[in-house]
Every structure is written in C-alpha cells, then in structure tokens.
Chain A
Amino acid sequence: MRQGAIEAAVRTVKKRKPLNRNWLIGYLFILPTVGAYVIFSLIPTVAVFVLSLFAWDLVGSPAFMGIDNYIRMFKDPLFLKSLKITFTYVAYNIPIQYLLSILLVLALKRPLRGVKAFRVIYLIPWVTTPVAIAIVWKWVLSPTGGVLNYVLDWFGVDKINWFSSAMALKSIVMVNVWQYTGFSTLIMLIGVQSIPQIFYESSQVDGAGRVRQFFHITLPLLKPTLLFLLVTGFIGSFQVFDSVYTMTDGGPGDSTSVYYFVIYKHAFQFLEMGYASAMSVILFVILMLVTLVQLRLFRNTTYDLS
C-alpha cells in the first residue's frame, strides 16, 4: 500500500512537472516587458504623486512641502493660462480634425477609381517627424517670403501674420490638423466600411435619403470608432509639445504656452521638479476624468447590433 502511495505521488509529481516548467517559461516570456513596465512606467506613475509633495531643484536635497505645490499652482497665472490655452487648442483641434475626416470619408467610401492612392497620400503627413515638419511649416507661414500668404493673395486674401499673438495658437492647430487628419480619416473609413451594407439597402427600401442614412445609420454605428478617436485624440492633444517647441517656443508672450510646454519649462529650465510633478498629477487627473466622461457618455447611447 505504501509502495502504491509513493508511486502515485511520483506519478503526480511527474505529471505536474512539465506543467510547472511551462508556467516558468510563461513567466519568463512576459518578464522583460512586464518588468520594464513596472520599473519604467508603474513606479514612476506612483513616484510622480510623491514627488509632487516635495520641492527639489536636483542640487540640494528634497524638502517636504505637503500640498504647497498645489496651492501655489492655483495662484500661478501661467498655470491657469496654460490650462486655458490647452483647452482652447483641444477645442479647435478635435472638432476641425474630425469634421474634415468625416468629409473625406464620405468621398473616400465611394467606389471611385484611384481612391486607394488618396488614402496613402493622406497618411504621409502622419508618419513624418513632427519637429522637422513644424520647421517646414514655419517657413511656409513665414511673414517674410512665406509661400502661403502668396497663394492666398491669388484669392484676394490679405497678408496674414501667422505668428502674431492672436494667430499663433491657430497656426499650431492648423499644422497639427494637417498632420493627423489622415490618420483619423483612415480609422473612420475602416469603421464606416465595417457597417453591413444591408442597413443601407433596407433603409433605402423604407425611403430614407442620404442625409437620413448618415444620421440614423452611419453616425450611430460609428460610435465605437468615434469614442476610440476621441479618447486617444484628447490624450494626444493635451500633450502637444513638439510643434510648439519648434514653431513658437511658447510665444509670442505666453500665447502658445500649452500645458506640456509649461511643465517642461518648470522641470528642465527652472529645475522645479516638485512643482512640475504636481502639474503632471493635475494633467493626469484631468485626462482620467475626461476619459471617464467620454466612456460614460458613449456607453449610454451605444447601439447593440447583435
């Protein structure tokens, strides 16, 4: 009997052995990526909250401040202004980009000859180095010798000073819309093409016109795609940096000092690590809230197809 028990035990051990080895291999496969995620992403995310409670210029030792950084922030005119500038930027950027995308999608989904070539062309701006393309745009928009003002002159438009304090932010919006509209257009196009044709056919039988089809079929069924674009678009727009750094350096005055740019300045020019961390925390909270609101808004109205 004893013998039998031992044999059984040996058998189970043998049976389990390859299984355990597989577990180990599984953990080893995910270890580099997940380990790096913990070290370079998760811990820094926690650390930024801790850092936001200190004052540190990298030279001396960090001094505990409690919530003083946060109190200072709400008395800091540049902080409030940069929030306003960033919100303005997003409020221009997202609607313009998505309206243009919808317009292009409506043209792209037609069975036109050569339509695929256009898709590829619209994607080119998306892949190009933002800093390099910002410099090209700076030249295109330049007040002296800028080619855009020359072209606009053909249509009777007066010279525009693209980098005046009233226009600079809009110019940055323009460049970013130019760069990313192709991407959102393609995402939307894929969404539109995945809508089963039968919906359009049956609504046609019911006598629905193009406009009604657009508002009653295309838009509602596009909601998951629009949600994806909104969430990623907001997170991306709040972090606009490269084009501001290259084209305007936050100016003239503070007129294009977007949030990320101000954080960058506090951290790496004024060496106020604690204060810059507190600003990052606030941005993190804003983005979380915006994302949650978007998810909530869309969840209530999502249509169940199946």
Chain B
Amino acid sequence: MKKILDYGVSYSVLVFFALISLFPFFWMVSTAFKDKKSVFIYPPEWIPDPIVFDNFRNVWEKVNFGVYLGNTAFITVILLVSQLLFCSMAAYGFSRISFPGRDIIFVIFLGSLMIPQIVTMIPLYLLVKTLGWLDTFKAVIVPSMFGNAFGVFFLRQFFLTIPKDFEDAARIDGAGVIRTFVTIILPMASSALVTLGVLTFVNAWNNFQWPLVVLNSPDKQVISVAIANLQGRFTSDWTGMMAGALITLAPILLIFVIAQKYFVQSIHMSGFK
C-alpha cells in the first residue's frame, strides 16, 4: 500500500512537469493554425477551428522567412562540418600524438572554458569590424568555425578510450598519422562525433546575440534575429508570431526527435569531468 502511494506520488510529479514542459509548444502550434479573429476568444480554443495556414503564408511571403531559414541553414551546416573537423583534429593531437609542450598547451587551452563570452564580445566586434567583415556571414562563421575547448575536451576524452593497438596495427601496415586518423580513429569515434554534432547544430541554430550585433542588412539576417524582429512588425499578431516561432523551432525539434539518444548521451559526457 505504501509502495503504491509512493509510486503514485512519483508519477504525478513526473506527469505534472512533463505537461508544463510541453504546454508552451502545444499552445504555439495551436495558435499558429488559428484564424486571426479566434485568437482572443474567451475561453480560449484549445484546438483551432477552423484550421488555417494563412499565418505561415504571411510569415513566408511578407517577412521573407524563407531567406532567413536559408541563411541560418547555410551558417549552421558550415559551422557543423568545420567544428567537427577541427575539434577532432585538435583532440587527436592532444590525445594521441606526442610533441613537446602538448600538455601545457592543452591546460592553457582548457582555461578558455573559464572565459565568459561577454568578455570577448567587444574586442571581437572591433576585430571583425577592422577586417571589414561586418554584415557578412564571415563575421558569424570564422570566429567559431575552428572549434572550441568544450568540443576538443569532449572528443579527447573519447579518443583516450580507444586502445592503442588499433593505431599500432595501422602503423605496421605502413599507414601514417594522417591516414590512421582518417581511416581508423574517426570511424571508431562516430557516435561521439554525432553527439558533439547535434550539440553543435543546436548552438549554431540558436545563436542570437552575436548575429544580432554583426549582421545588419535585412537579407543577411538569421532566423533567431528575424523572429525577435517580428515583434515590431506584427504588433500583437500572435498567430503570425507563433507561425514564425514554429518555423524557427521545427528543424531543432525534428533533430531532437530523430537523435534524442545522442542528446541524452551529450549530457552524460558533459556532466563528467
């Protein structure tokens, strides 16, 4: 009896918080398909009646959401591929190749985890401005395309668990360091790469503050900035804004559904030091 009560309480807590976690998404979808007139009906309609698609057409045609979606996808894909490449190269260098000063460099490099983004923002802005990169995708891509300490640390931890025998065997067969890296190490690390990849994707897609500062012209904007600007253009047109929010979140939610295992995995890796 006590056990049943116990489980009942646990389940209730879990279900309650699950509802809270999901409710805003439900409400976003519901509003996005509503007729402009039925938004402020009281009591609110949970399921829109009639279901309309005008809001998406509005956002797509009047505000050019297609362009922003394209810009964001372009930046995200480049960042995803390049960060994975450079992070895994550095992680391999720091874990499997010995050279003088390696461990000291690694420790100093890890120290960058302590530098808050806000500290580098202004000098970085001035640097990007001096290089003439303001209002170009370069300003968003180049400073972060070479990877970061978190990614390197994460992959290095993984590379350290691969037995050295594999590399020795490859070397006896005459493979050099680069070939060993490409044909032995990278394929073995594919699950770690996917895990880091989904995180990289989400961060690149969600990035807001830096693109807000360095990209100005309307046709260069990324989708996070576009959705924030929607507020000014669609004053209290919540159906349009929810349609915009849904377009922004759809790719992220899709990837989450497909790769949820890897997101959970990424937390396992980031929690352990």
Contact = CB atoms under 8 A, between A and B. Distances in A.
Q: Does chain A bind chain B?
A: yes
Contact of B21 (A121, A136, A186): A121
Interface stretch (B52-60, B186-194, B264-272): B264-272
Interface in A12-56: 22-23, 25-30, 32-37, 39-45, 47-48, 51
B253 A25 contact: no
A33 B90 contact: yes
B18 A121 contact: yes
A122 B21 contact: yes
B172 interface: no
Interface string B85-114: 011011011100111101001000100101
B63 interface: no
Contact of A32 (B89, B228, B253): B89
A26 B126 contact: no
A127 B263 contact: yes
A199 interface: no
B27 A25 contact: no
B224 A284 contact: no
Nearest to A276: B122
Contacts of A118: 14, 17-18
Contacts of B208: 129-131, 241-242, 245
Nearest to A144: B40
A32 B90 contact: yes
Contacts of A235: 116
Interface in B211-241: 212-213, 223-225, 227-228, 230-231, 236, 238, 241
A277 interface: yes
Contacts of A147: 27, 44
Given A135-B241, A228-B273, A245 B252 contact: no
A112 B125 CA distance: 51
Interface residues of A, number: 91
Contact of A139 (B27, B115, B117, B223): B27
Contact of B245 (A136, A145, A224): A136
Interface string A110-135: 10100100111111110111111101
A267 B119 CA distance: 12
Interface string B61-95: 00000000000000000000000001101101110
B45 to A, nearest CB: 10
A121 B22 CA distance: 8
Interface stretch (A64-72, A91-99, A100-108): A100-108
B197 interface: no
B124 interface: yes
Contacts of B109: 33-34, 37
A133 B273 contact: no
B14 A135 contact: no
Contact of A133 (B9, B97, B181, B249): B249
A205 B118 CA distance: 52
The residue in A25, A29, A35, A58 that gathers the most chain B C-beta atoms within 10 A of its C-beta is A29
12 contacts: A25-B178, A112-B7, A112-B10, A118-B17, A124-B253, A129-B208, A142-B238, A145-B39, A145-B40, A190-B272, A235-B116, A241-B208
Given A37-B109, A273-B122, 11 more contacts: A30-B94, A44-B120, A104-B13, A112-B14, A129-B248, A130-B208, A132-B244, A139-B27, A139-B242, A144-B40, A228-B273
